[in-house]
Structure 1
Amino acid sequence: MNSNLEQYLQLLWKSVIFWSFALGCYIVFRFLGLEDEKGLIIAPEYKGLISFSYVMGISATVGVVLGFLYASIEFFFEKIITKKISLGLSLLFENSIAFIITIAILTITFSTISNIFNIEINTARGWWTQDKTVWPLLIYILLSSFVFSFIKIALERFGSGMFLKMLIGKYKTPKEEQRIFMFIDLKDSTAIAEKLQHYVYSKFIQDCFYDLNSILLPYKAEIYQYVGDEVVLTWPFKKGIRNSNCIDVFFAFQKKLQSREKYYLDTYGFFPQFKAGVHGGKIMVTEVGTVKKDLAYHGDVINTSSRIQKACNAYNVSFLISETLLNALTFKAQFPSTFLGEVLLKGKQEEVKIHSLTSA
């Protein structure tokens, strides 16, 4: 499946569920039991509209529509606008546009109800500024929109599964997990940095990592950290070996860069080439920090992965993988491997068997 389409569909189902749930909660707070309230006088033409089940049905429909539109706006901003402006401005513009669209949807909804029930509901231009009864709903939707944006930022920062585990405090004490780590580093970074100077070089690296991010979703990769011109990816072990995700992601990144070779050469005079090392095994993961909370991974797997990547220069190859991880994979024929032997990686006492991989 196309990476952009998969990314949009992921955002879409989350948005639809969120807005259906958010509007459902509002209806419960606002209308539950209202039709049975003693002493409440309801005009005859509105009696059919006060039914809780009827209002809940309308809110579910509006929630689906809002979810679809908000997801589309969010996706558009993420792909076109967010790269060019700050996160704060992006959130402000995005939610302002969503607010205007919400008013348009409510106007259409109230006009439809007015026609079906043959009752007079004011939907003239600026009606929402005059009808104070709708203000609580608009404020609730606006606040919910910001809440959804912040939840999305948190999910992107930690990954959906990891974020939920942090919420329930799973990593308050260290936990052992099996994970795969891939270190990806820019080749000849020192020479490129000297030629481009620090500002242009930073833009160069920024573009490279944007391209990397654009292809990650289908391969279930999580970004652990960026360190200068190096990025560290990680997977839960089963997700990483499934469909050879921990291999395919690197060659998909290479393919993405090749598709933009002309852009890089025209803009920077350099075409970026990266090298990668990947290894997997048992690791400890825990929550660290109080001022800035984060997840930290500790263990030999990380050090080994990093040193395997650094060995790429010695063997003049772009991709190295440990034999331990290679044996755990269901391999794809288009990525042939070459056994390079047992090597004593810097800082380790035991030799590690490594293989190089190339794209056919």
Structure 2
Amino acid sequence: MNRNLKQYIRLLWQSILFWTIVMGLYSIFRYYGIDEEEGFTVIPEYSGNTGTLRALMGFTGIGAMLGFVYASIDFLFDKNTSNKLSLVWDLAIRTLLYFITTILIFTIVMDLFSAIYDLNLDTDRGWWKENKSFWATILYIVLVSFVFSFIKIATEKFGKGVFIKMLLGKYKNPQEEKRIFMFLDLKDSTTIAENLGHFKYSQFIQDCFYDLNKVVPKHDAEIYQYVGDEAVLSWPYKKGLANNNCVDLFFSFQQKKQSKADYYQEKYGVIPEFKAGLHGGELMVTEVGVIKKEIAYHGDVINTSARIQAECNTHKVKLLISEKLLKDLHISKHLSSTFLGSVLLKGKQKEVNIHTIEKKAILT
């Protein structure tokens, strides 16, 4: 299945589930037991368990539709406009689209319920302007949207599953995990920076990492940190091995840059090239900081990954991988590996066997 489709389906079911639950809860908050409150006069259609059930059905249906539409809007924006619009304009346009589609969804559901249950619900043009219940619901949707956005941002910041673990306090004490790390570094960065100047060089790096972010979700990677012109990526060990994610990400990134070669050449006069080092194993992970909390990884795996990447220039290759990690991979038919020898990496007492991986030439 296409990776973009997988990403959309994942976003879709999460959004539909979230909005179905929160709108179902809203119907309970709004209508459950309302006929028993003193001073309230409730029409028969909204009273008792039957009225509550109708409201629950209606609002969960609205929630499912909102989840579908909101997820579709977010997916299209993230794929096509997230690097072209400022944050203010991005939020303004999305909010406007959310609002318009919300009105349409409420109108459809109200018309449907009017026909099924013979209700006299006003859905004439502009009905929502003076409808206080609608505006109360919009306020609830806005508040819940902040919660949804917070969860999404926190998940993107810390990685899938990590945010929940942080909430549960899993990393308050150091935990041992098995992970794969990739150190990805811009080739000839000093020369490029001197030629472009600091302002244009910053734009150049920004564009490179924007393209990197386009391929990261497709290969289940997590971005641990950016350090200048270097990015450090990470995978839980099994996820990194699955479908050769840790290797294929590098070639997907290369392909992405090549597809934009004309853009880079025209704007900066240079097409970026990156070199990468890969290694995996057991290390410690823990939560650090108070004012600014972060997840930190400590262990030989990180140091070895960085030093393997530094060997790329020596061997004049773009991708190096430790033999230990290579043995656990099932290299695809379109890739080939070459043993480059044993090297004593800086700061190490034991030599590490390293290999390079390249794409095979396609015969025509």
Q: TM-score range by the shorter chain?
A: over 0.9
1:222 paired with 2:222, answer: yes
Residue in 2 aligned with 1:97?
Answer: 97
Q: Deviations over 1:206-233 (max 9, x none)?
A: 1211111111223111100111111111
Other-structure match for 1:203 = 203
| 1:276 counterpart SS class | strand
Give the AA of the match of 1:295: I
Once the two structures are TM-superposed, the CA of residue 293 in structure 1 deviates from its matched residue by: 0.9
SS at match of 2:233: strand
What secondary structure does 2:108 align onto?
A: helix
- Which residue of the partner structure matches residue 5 of structure 1? 5
Superposition pairs of residues 349-360 of structure 1, within 5 angstroms: 349-360=349-360
Q: 1:85 to 1:150 in 2, by over 3 A?
A: farther
Which has the higher mean CA deviation after the structures are superposed, 235-244 or 121-130? 121-130
Give 5+ residue unaligned stretches, structure 1. none
| Residue 40 (structure 1) shift | 5.9
Partner of 1:158: 158
Cα deviation, residue 317, structure 1 = 0.5
**Quick check: 2:12–2:71 contact (8 Å CA) kept in 1?**
yes
In structure 2, relative to structure 1, the CA distance for the partners of 1:49 and 1:80 (3 Å cut) is farther
Q: TM-score scaled to structure 2, two decimals?
A: 0.92
Percent sequence identity over aligned pairs = 55
Structure 2 match to 1:344: 344
Match of 2:316 in 1: 316
How far apart are the structure 2 equivalents of 1:56 and 1:161?
31
* 1:140–1:168 Cα change, 3 Å: same
Q: 1:306 maps to which residue?
A: 306
Distance 1:219 1:249 in 2: 6
Residue aligned with 2:283, SS: strand
**Structure 2 unaligned runs (5+)?**
none
Q: Distance in 2 between matches of 1:85 and 1:271?
A: 24
Shift of 1:39: 8.2
Aligned to 1:145: 145
Judge conservation of contact 1:35–1:51 (CA < 8 Å) in 2: no
Q: The residue matched to 2:22 in structure 1 has which SS?
A: helix
Give the letter aligned to residue 79 of structure 1: K
Distance 1:27 1:275, change over 3 A: same
2:54 paired with 1:54: yes
Cα distance in 2 for residues equivalent to 1:91 and 1:296: 32
Tell me by how many angstroms 1:49 deviates. 9.7
Q: Hey, what does 2:236 align to over in structure 1?
A: 236
Distance 2:228 2:238 in 1: 29
**Distance in 2 separating the partners of 1:45 and 1:241:** 57
Residue matched to 1:20: 20
Q: Post-superposition shift, 1:7?
A: 2.4
Partner of 1:212: 212
Q: Which amino acid aligns with 1:159?
A: G
Shift of residue 280 of structure 1? 0.6
How far did 1:156 drift?
1.1
1:332 Cα deviation after fit: 1.9
Contact conserved, 2:35 with 2:48, CA < 8 A, in 1?
A: no
Secondary structure of the 2:277 match is strand
Measured after TM superposition, the shift of residue 352 of structure 1 is: 0.9
1:112 lines up with 2:112 in the alignment: yes
In the TM superposition, what is the alpha-carbon distance from 1:172 to its structure 2 partner? 0.6
Please give the residue correspondences for 1:60-75 in structure 2 after superposition, counting only pairs within 5 Å: 60-75=60-75
d(CA) in 1 for partners of 2:3 and 2:197? 33
Q: Is the 8 A contact 2:189 2:229 kept in 1?
A: yes
Asked if the contact 1:91/1:149 (under 8 Å) is kept, the reply is no
Specify whether residues 64 and 351 from structure 1 end up closer, same or farther in structure 2 by C-alpha distance, changes over 3 A only.
same
One-letter code aligned to 2:328: A
What is the identity, as a one-letter code, of the residue corresponding to 1:320?
L
Q: CA deviation at 1:333?
A: 2.8
Distance 1:157 1:86 in 2: 20
Q: Number of aligned residue pairs: give it.
A: 360
- Does the 8 A contact of 1:35 with 1:50 survive in 2? no
Indicate the SS of the match to 1:124.
Answer: coil
Q: Give the whole-Å Cα distance in 2 for the aligned partners of 1:77 and 1:146.
A: 18
Q: 1: distance between equivalents of 2:11 and 2:32?
A: 30
Q: Shift in Å at residue 50 of structure 1?
A: 5.4
- Alignment-mate amino acid for residue 57 of structure 1: M
Indicate conservation of the 8 Å contact 1:172/1:287, yes or no: yes
Alignment of 1:36-55 (within 5 A): 41-44=41-44, 51-55=51-55
AA partner of residue 241 (structure 1): L
2: CA distance, partners of 1:126 / 1:147:
29
